[in-house]
Structure 1
Amino acid sequence: MTDLINVENLTFVNRRKKARLFSSAKNFELGPINFSLKAGETLAIVGANGSGKSLLAKLLVGLEKPASGHISLNGDVLTKFNQRQRCFNVRMIFQNSNESLNPGITLGGILDEPLRLNTDLNLLQRAAKIEQTLQQVGLMPEHQFFYRHMLSDGQRQRVALARALILNPQVLVADEPFAALDPSVRSQIVNLLMNIQRDLGLGFIFISHNLGIVRHISDKIIVMKGGKIIEAGKTEVIFNWPKEEYTQKLVHTHQALINRQVT
């Protein structure tokens, strides 16, 4: 099967303009990053805060420009000349759904904006697409008339997912999408995502600290530390036979937490 997305030798340098108090100015260097993803696969990216996970997500969706390397989608290299292709096909679910939704616009308005700006659909066609997408994520058509403050945390996350899906993408990039949800709602959203992925054949790139969810939904894992990939492989291989000391610590900490919960 052909790779859906392919990342080759991707690098980025975040240059600090000023030194912080009691510390010198240091550049953060990401990469080189290499990985591939097929349709229907889930890749999890794990690592401590500051390892470069969220920065990599921004590079994938075009919010940051790499210093070198490239990202290919269906074999075509994504550049500034085909940003429209990236906009349609690589969509992001942000970490905090509450902050990413405009409180002064109805949900219908939030979902209509990407359709209005990026498609030739007329008003009736856009309205039909909005209703279809709301139902796809487990909401009712009537929710299009709601505002952000009228929704629960779980419903807000469903709206964030709907906004990511509205342009029929091929890849979803999710940066800690479940961090603010309580366990029962989290389970519902995880199952929803897995069902949507199965139905649509989406590629899913999932950034998380929650290794329980990572093990449950991912096909393969990248472990990052200090802007570098220190280990990568199939999920069960990483969990059962981690090679790097850092990965071993992550897995052992996760297993110890599970053991405490069981006892």
Structure 2
Amino acid sequence: MTALLKVENLEYTQKPVRSLFKKQSGFTLGKINFELNEGETLAILGENGSGKSLLGKLLVGAEKPTSGNIYLNNQKLSPHNLRQRCLNIRMIFQHSNESLNPGINIAKILEGPLILNTKLKASERLQKIEQTLKLVGLLPDHMFFYRHMLSDGQRQRLALAKALILDPQVIVADEPFAALDPSVRSQTINLIMKLQKDLGLGFIFISHNLGIIRHISDRVLILQNGNLVEAGKTDVVFNWPKSSYTEKLVKSHQSLITPN
């Protein structure tokens, strides 16, 4: 079976930045290799500064790799063809507020990607917006709302709708549940798992919460200081960690093994 997404020897090097007032150290993301199949969830786990969010940005084209390749359906993705990335690999950010313009209503927020990336007529765009809102459990009338009129859970559903509006094949979710209370978090997790099953999406989930990762992911990558230290099926990695770093993470997060 051909992998939906394949990452091959992906590297990123940020050189140290020196200025009159401060010195910023560089960061290197080592050679990263993995595959993602249709309908599969791959989790990227690591402490703060491990490079997991950077890896997500490289996948969606927000950052350009120093070397290596990304393949979608066995076709190499060009780092310069951002439209191709935008159509096929979408991102959900940790803080939904930051990705939602407060000055325009929900319809305009969701219509923007359609205007830029499709040839749909205005009536077709409206229909697509209504369909996508229903898909994530929001009402068609929510398109007339503004960001501040939504609850935290509704804003996260809107962020999910924004990611789904172009019918992508892969979604990269960077800590999408961190700001949600436990009950809303549980509802959102169940929604995402249902959508993944119904739509056959490939999901890349970036988090430090072992409980949620164990609950929703099929496989996991462990990053430490930009290096891939362990990879495998989630239960195998958690129950029989090969690296001392993974063992340390599991032991230090025992209270999070069971999701809320």
TM-score, length of structure 1 as denominator length: 0.94
Superimposed CA distance per residue, residues 215-255 of structure 1 (whole angstroms, 9 cap, x where no aligned partner): 00000000000000000000010111001111001111222
Match of 1:206 in 2: 205
Residues 219-230 of structure 1: pairs in structure 2 closer than 5 A: 219-230=218-229
| Partners of 1:238 and 1:181 in 2: CA distance | 27
| Partners of 1:156 and 1:172 in 2: CA distance | 17
Q: Is residue 147 of structure 2 the alignment partner of residue 134 of structure 1?
A: no
| Partners of 1:256 and 1:203 in 2: CA distance | 28
Retained in 1: the 8 A contact 2:16–2:23? no
Which amino acid in 2 is paired with 1:138?
Answer: G
Match of 1:46 in 2: 45
| Partners of 1:131 and 1:70 in 2: CA distance | 36
| Partners of 1:142 and 1:129 in 2: CA distance | 14
CA shift for structure 1 position 24: 6.2
Residues 1-263 of structure 1: pairs in structure 2 closer than 5 A: 1-18=1-18, 25-80=24-79, 82-256=81-255
CA shift for structure 1 position 20: 9.9
| Partners of 2:207 and 2:97 in 1: CA distance | 18
Q: The residue matched to 2:18 in structure 1 has which SS?
A: coil
Report the identity percentage: 65
Q: The residue matched to 2:253 in structure 1 has which SS?
A: helix
CA shift for structure 1 position 256: 4.6
Q: Number of matched residues?
A: 259
Q: The residue matched to 1:66 in structure 2 has which SS?
A: coil
CA shift for structure 1 position 257: 5.3
Superimposed CA distance per residue, residues 47-70 of structure 1 (whole angstroms, 9 cap, x where no aligned partner): 000000010000000000100001
Q: The residue matched to 1:130 in structure 2 has which SS?
A: helix
What 5-or-longer segments of structure 2 have no aligned partner?
none
| Partners of 2:257 and 2:92 in 1: CA distance | 28
Retained in 2: the 8 A contact 1:19–1:26? no
| Partners of 2:197 and 2:152 in 1: CA distance | 24
Q: The residue matched to 2:120 in structure 1 has which SS?
A: coil
| Partners of 1:215 and 1:190 in 2: CA distance | 12
Which amino acid in 1 is paired with 2:8?
Answer: E
Retained in 2: the 8 A contact 1:9–1:68? yes
Range 243-252 or range 218-227, more displaced: 243-252
What 5-or-longer segments of structure 1 have no aligned partner?
none
| Partners of 2:238 and 2:24 in 1: CA distance | 36
| Partners of 2:217 and 2:35 in 1: CA distance | 14
Retained in 2: the 8 A contact 1:43–1:219? yes
